[in-house]
Structure 1
């Protein structure tokens, strides 16, 4: 489970530390930086599974990811603390250096895996050279690649790579789900839901109990839907819905005829029940085009998903905040102050109003009175690479 994320000089973040829970909801107005936090995690994954160059290119270039400020920052970085299991922990960080010409490279990278109370394994790379290496392994690291991609072949570091590379991020696009879709293995749901048919097929064929559960839950969200199935059309594939229209036999409709809300709800279900079991599932604005009553059911389903995956949601929906499963511990407030995104727990005044039953979280959000906790101390780039005490190297 991802326990803590530290970000420096990435997009709207100056220097921040965020503690997240198994189920976390980021709430705040449009433009505050909720999506930037999700994208920071996605950026880490993209650097590992592709390259730094491609991750930057896909975001519009280095000027689009480096925070703009009067201080003219040239470096940005990330640090992630991960709970791998009940005893093992990982501390992974890296820093990117840039110059005036627009060139960039991995300046520093460090990973510490602690197993139990005393056994630790560590590597550190500075400007492509191992400052602290692993015995018998000295791979050549390209300037735009992270060492963990190669080091993951070592047993102790493999779980760190597996966790970070299996994080999945979703912003569902109903029009992409409606379209006839290319053939796909269906193991991992794409970020926009555009391979939903293949993912459903994979669940239907290999996880029949989950398929029956998914179908039943969809009928609760969209009561007229009695079944959803995979359909092959030549070299393409799509979804077919059975819908009760009051006749003795349900009528069949393809995805192109279904509402945005139904397609989004199905996509959320597929994200939870997909065969790949992501380490983390991040969904942006799950409430979009979904009826509040159906949203309550979906939040229940997402809560059930924490047994397999960590759940991260972004929202500005009062209805979602007022769900019976949402507590203060699940909530982080996102705000933008002087061009800098801050993410912190709910503030004392809002907390008191909520605990005293003076207002619900949704009412506080609607009234613009959802305040934020006291600010944290600032961090410098050195915080990524403080020297940790290693008890034993193996």
Structure 2
């Protein structure tokens, strides 16, 4: 389980270290930095996919995501992301490129990466370190001229002498993010889908019916999924219709002579079914991050949604980013309220560094 998340130099986040529980609820008013925290988590996960630099480039480069608040700016310019779990931690430092004549001279560079044991990076806990192009483990040089756009998580993942690189990559790749699902008239989830077993929900929700049917046939969280629908829609039952050529999700509702398929459901109802599929799928992520899951849902669905998320957190560590007061209250768990002070995202109730979890960044 992830114990600590650290972000420095990302848009409104000058420096933020959060302690995490099985279920952590991040709240705050609009504009306090909730979305920035969510996106920085996605960027950290991109390190495990080998697409950190390209993700930054698509966001407009380091200049568009660097800390934008007033007052003292970090020097040198850097974006630093890290986490520590029960057994292993990772920290990455991205900065501006050195001057050169490359057509890609505006791409940011990976300046440092560290993999460490325990909850805090120290010389004694360092398992692997990368400083610019030099990579070392236990004082032994592994690589000398690593390109600035390559991560040790890719370059060293198959090196049996440093299995920690592969372990961190697997951890980051297991994280799953769910933002607003498409529920418009042309949403993929409204159309019949190919009937093939699906163990996790696609980002666009296209395999909704297949994921739900896979969960039902494989047991596991099927009882939770069916109960969530029954609880949310007053006795309605989930039904998957179709044959080997295609499947479509639907609801059998009291008083109606036929099943209402996904193409006929309201946006809110479809949104809830997508959340059910995401949270009860057979493949369980290492970390599940939900950004405003209450979007499009009526307030009457908050108890059912809170119950579903709470049950999910018992098997999967979950972070919920929301500004919905009722959902926050119903979820309980560890609550982190973000505020903005002098254009900087802060945590309510923390007056200084001693009020936050222990974390150490490597020096350049």
Aligned partner of 2:306 among 299, 306, 311: 299
1:120 Cα deviation from its structure 2 partner: 5.8
Aligned partner of 2:209 among 178, 192, 197: 197
1:2 Cα deviation from its structure 2 partner: 1.3
Aligned partner of 1:336 among 336, 340, 343: 340
Q: Which runs of 5+ in 1 are unaligned?
A: 84-88, 345-371, 388-394
Contact 1:78–1:384 (CA<8 Å) still a contact in 2? no
Separation in 1, partners of 2:204, 2:85: 27
Q: Which runs of 5+ in 2 are unaligned?
A: 100-104
Aligned partner of 1:81 among 81, 84, 88: 84
Q: Which has the higher contact order (CA 8 A, sep 6+)?
A: 2
Separation in 2, partners of 1:121, 1:66: 27
Contact 1:189–1:199 (CA<8 Å) still a contact in 2? yes
Q: Are the structure 2 counterparts of residues 157 and 15 from structure 1 closer, same or farther at C-alpha, using a change threshold of 3 Å? A: same
Separation in 2, partners of 1:160, 1:114: 13
Query: Structure 2 matches for 1:239-258, cutoff 5 A?
Result: 239-246=248-255, 250-258=257-265
1:72 Cα deviation from its structure 2 partner: 5.5
SS of the residue aligned with 1:130? strand
Separation in 2, partners of 1:134, 1:148: 18
Q: Are the structure 2 counterparts of residues 15 and 242 from structure 1 closer, same or farther at C-alpha, using a change threshold of 3 Å? A: closer
Query: Structure 2 matches for 1:334-373, cutoff 5 A?
Result: 334-342=338-346, 344=347, 372-373=348-349
Deviation per CA, 1:134-161: give whole Å up to 9, x if none. 8695486332122023333343443322
1:95 aligned partner: 93
Q: TM-score, normalised by structure 1?
A: 0.77
Contact 1:168–1:191 (CA<8 Å) still a contact in 2? no
Q: Are 2:113 and 1:109 aligned? A: yes
Separation in 1, partners of 2:244, 2:341: 51
1:326 Cα deviation from its structure 2 partner: 1.0
Contact 1:196–1:270 (CA<8 Å) still a contact in 2? yes
Q: Are 2:71 and 1:60 aligned? A: no
Q: Are the structure 2 counterparts of residues 186 and 139 from structure 1 closer, same or farther at C-alpha, using a change threshold of 3 Å? A: farther
2:146 aligned partner: 141
Separation in 2, partners of 1:310, 1:186: 21
- Number of positions where the alignment pairs a residue of Structure 1 with one of Structure 2: 341
1:281 Cα deviation from its structure 2 partner: 0.8
1:349 aligned partner: none
Aligned-residue CA RMSD in angstroms? 3.1
Separation in 2, partners of 1:60, 1:196: 33
Q: Are 2:352 and 1:376 aligned? A: yes
SS of the residue aligned with 2:79? strand
1:230 Cα deviation from its structure 2 partner: 5.7
Query: Structure 2 matches for 1:133-282, cutoff 5 A?
Result: 137-138=142-143, 141-153=146-158, 154=160, 155-173=163-181, 174-175=183-184, 176-180=187-191, 183=194, 186-205=198-217, 207-223=218-234, 225-229=236-240, 231=242, 239-246=248-255, 250-282=257-289
Separation in 2, partners of 1:386, 1:188: 39
Separation in 1, partners of 2:37, 2:199: 26
SS of the residue aligned with 1:35? helix
Q: Are the structure 2 counterparts of residues 109 and 209 from structure 1 closer, same or farther at C-alpha, using a change threshold of 3 Å? A: closer
Separation in 1, partners of 2:175, 2:137: 28
2:318 aligned partner: 311
Contact 1:238–1:254 (CA<8 Å) still a contact in 2? no
Contact 1:172–1:191 (CA<8 Å) still a contact in 2? no
SS of the residue aligned with 1:251? coil
1:220 Cα deviation from its structure 2 partner: 1.2
Separation in 1, partners of 2:50, 2:165: 18
SS of the residue aligned with 1:335? strand
Separation in 2, partners of 1:294, 1:257: 19
Aligned partner of 2:332 among 326, 330, 335: 326
Contact 2:193–2:248 (CA<8 Å) still a contact in 1? no
Q: Are the structure 2 counterparts of residues 242 and 159 from structure 1 closer, same or farther at C-alpha, using a change threshold of 3 Å? A: same
Separation in 2, partners of 1:129, 1:229: 54
2:102 aligned partner: none
